[in-house]
C-alpha cells in the first residue's frame, strides 16, 4: 500500500508491503511493521518497536523513545500484538507488550503490558473488559455476559465445556447456608483449594490455562468477574453471590478481574500444584490448543 508523502522510512526499518504509514510517521532503523498494519499519523516508530500483523495505531499515538537510538536494550522494545488497536493520543511506555487483539482506548496511558483481547482505558491504563471473538473486528460493546438463573441449575456456556452453577441457598435466622456436592454437581473431586483475596480493583488474576487440572470458582464474599476463553468464544461470568460458581475445564484460558474491595475467591482444583501444568503465555496456549484439537480430529 502507498504511504503518505510526509512519512519517512529510514534505512534499516522493516515495513511490510501491505502496511500503511500515515502523515508524518517516522520509522527508525530497527523498527518492524508487519503485514496489513496501519499507523495513521504523527507517530515515531523507534528502534525496537514491533507491530505484528494487522495492528492499527490511531493518529498521535506516542511510543516512548529508547534511551539511545544507536543501541537499544531488551527493556526498550515495544510490541503491538496482531490485530491490536490503539486509539488516538494513547501513550505506550518502553518495555510494554500489547497482547494480540487488545483494544486501547484513545488517550490511555499504558505503562504495563496488556493481556490479549483486553480492553483498557484511563491514566494509568485499567482493564475494563475483554473483546468477544478471536476473529473479526472487536467492538467496545463486546462480549457475552452470562445471565445466571435464580433457581438451582447448571448452564452450559458457548465456551467449550464451561458451565455456570447456581446452588441451593437457604435463609435461616441462625445464619444462611449454601451447599454444593462434588461429583454430583461439581464435576470432579478436588485435591487442592486456594483463596484469592485483597486484590486491588484495577488488577487482574489468572491469565493462564491448565493442561490437565480442572477448576471450580466461587466468590464466597464480595464479587469478581471470570472470563473464559477457548479460542472460538469468550464469555464473562459475574460471581457476586456465594451460591454461584463457574467450572473451567482443562485447556480453557481463564482470567479474573473486577474484584470488589472485599472479594474472597475460593478455587477448587482437581490436581495438586504442578508448575508444568500451567500455560501462562497466550501464544503458547493457542499453539497447544490447536495441536490438541488436531489430535482429536
Is pLDDT above 60 for 260?
yes
For 130, counting Cβ atoms within 10 Å of its Cβ (0-12 exposed, 13-18 middle, 19+ buried), the class is buried
Last residue of a domain, which of 130, 156, 181?
130
Q: Which positions are annotated as active-site residues?
A: 208
H-type helices in the chain, by residue range? Answer: 282-295
More confident residue, 144 or 240: 240
Do 125 and 182 lie in one domain? The reply is no
Do 164 and 268 lie in one domain? The reply is yes
Q: Is residue 244 domain-resident?
A: yes
With cut-offs at 50, 70 and 90, classify the pLDDT of residue 144.
Answer: low
Q: Are 218 and 224 in contact (CB under 8 A)?
A: no
Per-residue pLDDT at 142: 37
What tens digit of pLDDT does each residue of 181-205 get?
A: 999 999 999 999 999 999 999 999 9
Lowest mean pLDDT among 210-219, 228-237, 244-253: 228-237
pLDDT (mean) for 258-284: 98
Per-residue pLDDT at 135: 41
Do 194 and 88 lie in one domain? The reply is no
Tell me what percent of the residues of the chain surpass a pLDDT of 70. Answer: 93
Residue 141: all three cell numbers together:
460493546
DSSP codes joined into one string, 56-79: EE-TT-EEPPPS-SSS--GGG-EE
Last residue of a domain, which of 84, 106, 130?
130
Do 45 and 123 lie in one domain? The reply is yes
What tens digit of pLDDT does each residue of 15-38 get?
A: 999 999 999 999 999 999 999 999
Residue 43: all three cell numbers together:
507517530
Is pLDDT above 70 for 143?
no
Angstrom distances, CA of residue 286 to CA of 85, 100, 230? 20, 11, 9
Q: Is residue 35 domain-resident?
A: yes
> For residue 252, what are the domain limits?
144-295
Per-residue pLDDT at 133: 54
Q: Is residue 2 domain-resident?
A: no
pLDDT (mean) for 142-170: 85
CATH of the domain at 199: 2.60.120.10
Q: Are 12 and 72 in contact (CB under 8 A)?
A: no
Peptide bond preceding 124 in cis form (omega within 30 of 0): yes
What tens digit of pLDDT does each residue of 54-98 get?
A: 999 999 999 999 988 876 777 789 999 999 999 999 999 999 999
Q: Is residue 138 domain-resident?
A: no
For 196, counting Cβ atoms within 10 Å of its Cβ (0-12 exposed, 13-18 middle, 19+ buried), the class is middle
Per-residue pLDDT at 69: 80
DSSP codes joined into one string, 261-272: TT-EEEEEESS-
Q: What is the pTM of this model?
A: 0.85
Last residue of a domain, which of 130, 156, 183?
130
More confident residue, 220 or 138: 220
Do 101 and 226 lie in one domain? The reply is no
Q: Is residue 166 domain-resident?
A: yes
With cut-offs at 50, 70 and 90, classify the pLDDT of residue 149.
Answer: confident
Do 176 and 280 lie in one domain? The reply is yes
> Running DSSP on this structure, what letter comes out for residue 2?
P
Do 96 and 159 lie in one domain? The reply is no
Do 119 and 30 lie in one domain? The reply is yes
What tens digit of pLDDT does each residue of 96-136 get?
A: 999 999 999 999 999 999 999 999 999 999 999 998 654 44
Residue 242: all three cell numbers together:
456465594
Is pLDDT above 60 for 153?
yes
Q: Is residue 135 domain-resident?
A: no
Residue 69: all three cell numbers together:
537510538
Please give the tally of structural domains in the chain: 2
Do 89 and 173 lie in one domain? The reply is no
CATH of the domain at 73: 2.160.10.10
Q: Is residue 107 domain-resident?
A: yes
Per-residue pLDDT at 103: 97
Is pLDDT above 70 for 279?
yes
Phi/psi region, residue 122 (left: phi>0; alpha: psi -120 to 50; beta: rest), is left
Do 79 and 163 lie in one domain? The reply is no
Do 162 and 280 lie in one domain? The reply is yes
Q: Is residue 243 domain-resident?
A: yes
Three-state DSSP state, 282: helix
Do 58 and 87 lie in one domain? The reply is yes
Is pLDDT above 50 for 138?
no
Amino acid at each position: 500500500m502507498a504511504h503518505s508523502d510526509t512519512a519517512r522510512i529510514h534505512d534499516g526499518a522493516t515495513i511490510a508491503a501491505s502496511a500503511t504509514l500515515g502523515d508524518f510517521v517516522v520509522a527508525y532503523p530497527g523498527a518492524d511493521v508487519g503485514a496489513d498494519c496501519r499507523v495513521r499519523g504523527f507517530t515515531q516508530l523507534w528502534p525496537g518497536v514491533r507491530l505484528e500483523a494487522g495492528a492499527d495505531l490511531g493518529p498521535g499515538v506516542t511510543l516512548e523513545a529508547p534511551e539511545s537510538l544507536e543501541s537499544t536494550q531488551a527493556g526498550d522494545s515495544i510490541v503491538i500484538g496482531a490485530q491490536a488497536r490503539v486509539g488516538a493520543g494513547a501513550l505506550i511506555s518502553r518495555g510494554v507488550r500489547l497482547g494480540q487483539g487488545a483494544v486501547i482506548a484513545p488517550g490511555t496511558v499504558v505503562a504495563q503490558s496488556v493481556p490479549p483481547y483486553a480492553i483498557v482505558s484511563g491514566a494509568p491504563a485499567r482493564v475494563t473488559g475483554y473483546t468477544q471473538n478471536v476473529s473479526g473486528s472487536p467492538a467496545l460493546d463486546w462480549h457475552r455476559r452470562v445471565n445466571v438463573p435464580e433457581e438451582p441449575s447448571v448452564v452450559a456456556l458457548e465456551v467449550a465445556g464451561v458451565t455456570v452453577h447456581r446452588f441451593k441457598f437457604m435463609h435461616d435466622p441462625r445464619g444462611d447456608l449454601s451447599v454444593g456436592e462434588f461429583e454430583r454437581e461439581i464435576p470432579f473431586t478436588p485435591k487442592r483449594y486456594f483463596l484469592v483475596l485483597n486484590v486491588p480493583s484495577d488488577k487482574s488474576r489468572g491469565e493462564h490455562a491448565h493442561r490437565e487440572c480442572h477448576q471450580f470458582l466461587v466468590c464466597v464474599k464480595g464479587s469478581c468477574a471470570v472470563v473464559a476463553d477457548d479460542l472460538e468464544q469468550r464469555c464473562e461470568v459475574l460471581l457476586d453471590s456465594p451460591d454461584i460458581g463457574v467450572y473451567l475445564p482443562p485447556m480453557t484460558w481463564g482470567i479474573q478481574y473486577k474484584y470488589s474491595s472485599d472479594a474472597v475467591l475460593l478455587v477448587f482444583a482437581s490436581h495438586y500444584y504442578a508448575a508444568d501444568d500451567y500455560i501462562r503465555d497466550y501464544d503458547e496456549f493457542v499453539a497447544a490448543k490447536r495441536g490438541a484439537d488436531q489430535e482429536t480430529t
